[in-house]
Amino acid sequence: MNLKIKNALVSLSDKEDIVSILKTLKKYNVKIISSGGTFKYIKKLGYNCTELSKYTGFKEMLDGRVKTLHPKIHAGILHDRQNKSHKNEMSRQNFPSIDLILVNFYPFQKVVKSTKSPKDIIENIDIGGPTLVRAAAKNFKNVVIITNKNDYPQLINELEKNKGRTSLKFREIMSSKAFGLTAYYDAMIANWFNNKLNIQFPERKTVFGRKFKKLRYGENPHQESSIYINDYDDQKLRFTQLHGKDLSYNNYNDMFAALDILASLKKKSGTVIIKHSNPCGVAENTQPLNSLRNAYSSDPISAFGGIIACNYKINKKLALEISKNFLEVIMANGFDKESLQILKSKKNLRIIDITKYKSKNITSLKSFDGSFLIQNKDKITLNKKKLKCVTKLKPNKKELAEIEFAVNISKFVKSNAIVLCNNFSTIGIGAGQPSRLDSCKIAIQKAKKFQPKKIKDSVAASDAFFPFVDGVKTLIKAGVKIIIQPGGSIRDQEIINEANKAKIKMIFTGVRHFNH
């Protein structure tokens, strides 16, 4: 059923691009009703328009809080044009049909970004707009609802194609978009209140997101995928791509894993290399070039085709070092002119400027079939109150700093995780094994292959306790001199005895760092 549009209600906070719509509505003799700033704007552009208060016979009140909330408006939208009873009621009241609604909301998002004043934020929670949208969207069989200026061209095309009418399919698509918007808007408001009141896990949780880009595919070519922005600033990501192919699902997944680790490296120049969301090399150094080389030396084979994230600016010398290897993505706190010339010679390399990136999200979410899990992010590295040296030999101040570095990296490695470090650089990482002993063996195997001279006197961090002494024996035999683990196994004493026997140092952190 194609619907002839006779009357339109226009109420817009964002009036951009409205001229094209007004021209088309005039062409098909559509009468326009509007109020406030929108009414003045339409009149200023030279188009006929009836002021809403004149149309309803009711002057807006409460500083504009009540203007579209009127029976003549909502009956005009909600009545069923095919229902005789509805038609008779509308006729008795002398209420015309309203066939087209053009609405966007008070700029709640914009205000949240620009002020911390609860009064100003609450004043910008739109009531009339979402009510109009929900009414029109419910009655899509009879009413067109447009909530996004990006849909103006489609509306114009519909009217031109159907000579002032719209198709049912178009109206239903616009209705779906409209309900998506009201849900998104309400979710942002609910989340603002939850944040204000420090309610981390409310009874009902709505996750809002705006589609940023459809991706070529998901983890594999047969899977579809898109990336969404879950932030009040939902128009752009907090980093900038300067060069290279479009980012893929796997690229984004690895990049966010790298940025999480990078945000935890704050003391020196830090470099993180990620492959399949696991770190394969992490280093801190006073010199960026040493940091880069040390991270890469941890596991150069795994680093092939990986992602590098740096918390420093890339210069010519660093760019030449980076360009020696095949990478998917390089992220850094800026690039000088010469470095960009060098890196851009690799046409497919994605170059990402993260100068303005700041980690905001304090929760992580995993979705399943009909349910999802939410938790706080693992922000603790060492709880110094729980830190306990359980061996006769004690670590010195420098070793404690190395211990903290190793434990921090173990947080980001898939469990079971074993991380070997020497001089603030990983030298072997065992990740994602069902057996902790296997993770120990893999970490040692990596270290022996790429950093054999650094295994002696190295530090080993385990994300959880050792259930048996075998893993500890394996690490000691390889040359590890300090082991950090949470403790808590029923065999802790047996493990401590083994450490004392081998004259190594062992620290119990009291904090587990599973990462599934």
Q: Tell the burial category of 9 from Cβ atoms under 10 Å away from its Cβ (0-12, 13-18, 19+).
A: buried
Would strands 269-275 and 278-285 be described as parallel, antiparallel, or unpaired?
antiparallel
- Among residues 276, 316, 317, 344, which one is catalytic? 276
**What is the rounded CA–CA span in Å between residue 7 and residue 204?**
39
Least Cα distance to 209 among 226, 228, 224 occurs for 228
Is 70 designated active site? no
Strand residue runs (E) in 45-113:
50-51, 100-103
Strand residue runs (E) in 77-178:
100-103, 144-146, 165-166
If you search the block for the tokens 């030298």, which residue do you land on? 427
Query: Which residues are CB-neighbours of 227 under 8 A, at least 6 positions away?
Result: 211, 212, 213, 215, 249, 252
What values do phi and psi take at 425, rounded to 5? -145, 140
448 touches 318 (CB < 8 A):
no
Query: Which residues are CB-neighbours of 275 under 8 A, at least 6 positions away?
Result: 254, 302, 303, 305, 306, 307
Would strands 144-146 and 100-103 be described as parallel, antiparallel, or unpaired?
parallel
Cβ neighbours around 146 below 10 Å, total = 23
Partners of residue 275 on adjacent β-strands: 278
**What is the rounded CA–CA span in Å between residue 398 and residue 403?**
9
- Among residues 31, 138, 141, 149, which one is catalytic? 138
Is 138 designated active site? yes
424 touches 404 (CB < 8 A):
no
40 touches 53 (CB < 8 A):
no
**Apex 171 CA angle, 167 and 176, nearest 5:** 150
Query: Which residues are CB-neighbours of 329 under 8 A, at least 6 positions away?
Result: 244, 247, 251, 254, 255, 307, 308, 349, 350, 351, 352
If you search the block for the tokens 């094209």, which residue do you land on? 20
**Distance, CA of 274 to chain centre:** 18
Partners of residue 4 on adjacent β-strands: 165
**What is the rounded CA–CA span in Å between residue 335 and residue 343?**
10
Instruction: Give catalytic residues, as residue numbers.
Output: 138, 276
